[in-house]
Structure 1
Amino acid sequence: MAPVHASDVQYDVLDFDQLSGWAEDDHEAALRVFLNTCRDMKDPDWRAICKFANEGPDARQFFELFFRPVLIDDKQDALFTGYFEPELDGDRYRSDRFRYPIYKMPQEALAQKPWLTRREILETPVLAGRGLEIAWVDDPVELFFLQIQGSGRVRLPDGGYIRVGYRGANGHPYRSIGQEMVRRGIYNAHQVSADVIKNWVRRNPVEGRDLLFHNPSYVFFREVSKVPADQGPLGAMNRSVTAMRSIAVDPSFVKLGSPVWVEKDGEDPLRRLMIAQDTGSAIKGAQRADVFFGTGDSAGKAAGRLRDPGRMVVLMPIQRAYALLPESAI
C-alpha cells in the first residue's frame, strides 16, 4: 500500500444513531473487554475514562457519554479479515517427528532492520546450536501460518502445552502467498483460503517450499505460558485478546485500547463494538482490521473465510474527536 500523507486523511465526527445496529449490540460485553486494557492507557483523558468505567456504569450510556464516533478516511478501501490462535503438535525437544523449530529472537535481528530474509534464515545454520528454540513442531506449513497469526499454542506429548506470543520480526515486508498463487495462475482469487494454501503446499513440497519463501518476513516468538488456558493469547498491549470482541488495527491511525465500531458487510454481516487490542504486519490503513476469532481449528476455518468490506468507526474521547476537525466544521 502506498504511504498515506496526513493531508490525505479525513476525519468525520458522527452521531451514535448513524452507527448501524448500535442500539442492538451487547455493550456490557464490549465494556468488559475495554476494561482489560484501559488501565494501560496512560494519557490523562483515557485514565479518567477508565476510572469511571471501573465504577460499574450502564455500558451503553458510558460509551455515549464519554466518546464520539469518528470515521477516519485515508482513501483506502475498507477490509476486514480474521485471525485466530492456532494449535500445533510439538515438544520441547527435537525428535524425528518434531524437527521444525519455533525460535526466540536473536540479538542481531533486534539490532539490524531489515535482517536476513526467511530463505536466508531457514537455508543457513545462522540460528542453529544457539539455544534459541522454544519448541519443535511437526509441520512446517502450520509453523508458517503460526508466524502469520503471531501467537499460538503447542500441544505437548504429555498433554500439556506451551503458549507462544509475538516477539518481533526480521524487518522485511509481509508478502501474501495467496496473492502470489493467483499471480502464478495456480488459483483464482476467490478460490484461495488458508486450507487451500496448506493443502497445495503439502501436495507440492518442492514448489510449496519455494512459495513460502515468497514471503521474506520471518517472525520470532517468546513463551507466554503464564497466560491461563481459558484466556486468549496476548495481543500487542500484552493482555489477552477476546474472541469476536478484540481486533488488530494499524496503530498509526487507531490508538490501541480504543473502542471501535465495526460494520462488516459481506455474506455474514457483523455490527459490533470491538476493542483495538492488537496489531499485525499486514494490517495497514485506517479502514483495515483483523477480527480475532479464538483458538483452534474451528476458529481458524472461520477466520480464514473472512475477507469482507464495510467500515470501522473509532470511538474517541470527546475532546480528541472534535480537535481533529477543521475550525470551519466545529
Structure 2
Amino acid sequence: MRALLCALVVSAVTAAGAGVSAQVLDFESLDGWTDDDHAEALAVFRQTCDRLEGPEWAPLCRFAAEASPDPAAAREFFELFFKPVQIGDPPALFTGYYEPELEGSPVRTGRFRWPIYARPPELQDGTIWRTRAEIDAGLLDGRGLEIAWLDDPVEVFFLQVQGSGRIRMPDGKVIRVGYAAKNGHPYVSVGRELVKRGLMRLEDASAQSIRDWVRRNPGQGQAMLGLNPSYVFFRKIPTLAADKGPIGAMGRSITPLRTVAVDPVYTPLGAPVWVEKDGRLPLRRLFVAQDTGGAIKGMQRADIYYGTGSRAGDLAGDVKDGGRMMVLLPIERAFAMLPEN
C-alpha cells in the first residue's frame, strides 16, 4: 500500500558487527506467545511465502504449505523452524494505518474539486521529482492524469499517507486505488512540525487531531501540509475483490491485525514478526511483514494495519505506542545475526 513495489524482499543486515545489535531469544520469553492464534498467522504467512527470496526460505514455505491448520500444529511449525530475533533495542515505536473509504467523483464538480493523480509518465523510479507544493499549485492540470476527485484536500493528503483507499462515486460504484509511485522527496511528519512550532502537544498529536487542526486553520493548515514535499501517485485496481485488503509491498492483499509495515533494511519482507505493543489497546500477536512505508524507518519500528473504513481509521489514528518487536528468522539465519566472538 504505502509501499514501494520496487523489491519483493530486502535482506536484513546479517551481522550485529555492521552497527546493528541483535539478540536471539527463546519462544518462552515472548509475552503472550502461547495465547495467540498461530493458525491464523500461518495462513497469512502462506499468502506471501512464495515471494521470499533466499535458499533458507524455500523449504520452510513447502513445510508451511503442508502444515495442518490446527492451531497447535501451526504453533509447532513456527517453534520448530524459526528463532525470534530482537534487532535493535526497545522501546519500539508502533503506529497504525488503514484503508480509507471516501466519497468522490470521476469528474470535477462544485463539490469534488481536489484530484488524486496517476503516475506521470516522465517520473522515474529512484529519482527526485517535483514537490508537493508544485503539484498542488497545478503542475499536472490538463494532462488527464486525474483518477478521481475528492471533496476535501485534507483527505487527499491522508489518502497519500495511507497509500490506498476505496472511493465511492455518486452512482454508488466503488473504485479501489493503490500506491503507484512517489516523487522521491523524503516524508516530513506534519504532526512533528505542529509540535515543534508549539501548535500542538506531543501527547495530542494523532491523525484525527492533525485533520481537525488543518480544517480549523485552512490557510495555515494547507501551508503546513505543504511542508511535507513527498507526494504519492495512485493506480486503479479493478480486479481487487471487495472482501480483500489493499495490495501491500509484496504484491498481495494485506490482512487486518496480521500485517505490519516495516523497514526492510532491517526486517525481511515476508518474515513473521512478533509484536508486543503496549498502550491503551495492547497487542501480543504474530504478524507478517508484508508492507513498507515512507515514515517507517528503523529497527524497532512497525506500522500495524487495522483494516478498512472509519472504525479502523479511528483505531489506527490513535496508535503511537511503545513495546518491542522480534522478527522470526530461519534458525541458521537467526544465529548468523550474532557478532563473531
Match of 2:143?
130
Q: Does 1:109 align with 2:123?
A: yes
- For residues 2-21 of structure 1, the aligned pairs below 5 Å read 7-21=18-32
Give the letter for the 1:204 counterpart: N
Closer/same/farther in 2, CA of residues 203 and 60 from structure 1, 3 Å limit: same
Equivalent pair of 1:14/1:69 in contact (CA under 8 Å): yes
Match of 1:99?
113
Match of 1:47?
58
Secondary structure at 1:141 match in 2: helix
Output the CA distance in 2 between the equivalents of 1:266 and 1:96: 43
Residues 122-152 of structure 1: CA deviation (Å, up to 9, x unaligned): 11x3212222111111111111000001111
Secondary structure at 2:295 match in 1: coil
Give the letter for the 1:302 counterpart: L
Match of 1:223?
236
Match of 2:292?
279
Give the letter for the 1:251 counterpart: P
Q: Does 1:246 align with 2:259?
A: yes
Output the CA distance in 1 between the equivalents of 2:221 and 2:86: 41
Equivalent pair of 1:76/1:285 in contact (CA under 8 Å): no
Residues 18-77 of structure 1: CA deviation (Å, up to 9, x unaligned): 11111111001100111111122242321211111111331001101111111101x574
Match of 1:79?
93
Match of 1:314?
327
**How many residues of Structure 1 are paired with residues of Structure 2 in the alignment?**
323
Which sections of structure 1, spanning at least 5 residues, go unmatched? none
Output the CA distance in 1 between the equivalents of 2:259 and 2:131: 31
Closer/same/farther in 2, CA of residues 140 and 35 from structure 1, 3 Å limit: same
Q: Among 48, 58, 63, which residue is 2:78 paired with? A: 63
Give the letter for the 2:130 counterpart: L
Q: Does 1:180 align with 2:215?
A: no
Secondary structure at 1:316 match in 2: strand
Q: Does 1:38 align with 2:49?
A: yes
Give the letter for the 2:295 counterpart: A
Secondary structure at 1:216 match in 2: coil
Equivalent pair of 1:20/1:263 in contact (CA under 8 Å): yes
Residues 62-120 of structure 1: CA deviation (Å, up to 9, x unaligned): 101111111101x5741000000011111212212212111111133326721111101
Q: Among 241, 245, 251, which residue is 1:232 paired with? A: 245
Closer/same/farther in 2, CA of residues 150 and 111 from structure 1, 3 Å limit: closer
State the structure with bigger RCO (CA 8 A, min sep 6), 1 or 2.
2
Pairwise CA RMSD of aligned residues?
A: 1.6
Give the letter for the 1:10 counterpart: S
Match of 2:4?
none
Equivalent pair of 2:17/2:339 in contact (CA under 8 Å): no
Which sections of structure 2, spanning at least 5 residues, go unmatched? 1-12
Give the letter for the 1:113 counterpart: T
Secondary structure at 1:326 match in 2: coil
Bigger CA drift: 106-115 or 315-324? 106-115
Closer/same/farther in 2, CA of residues 112 and 46 from structure 1, 3 Å limit: closer
Output the CA distance in 2 between the equivalents of 1:265 and 1:8: 27
Give the letter for the 1:51 counterpart: R
Residues 204-244 of structure 1: CA deviation (Å, up to 9, x unaligned): 21111111101111111111131111111011111111000
Q: Among 38, 41, 50, which residue is 1:27 paired with? A: 38
Q: Structure 2 length as normaliser, TM-score?
A: 0.91
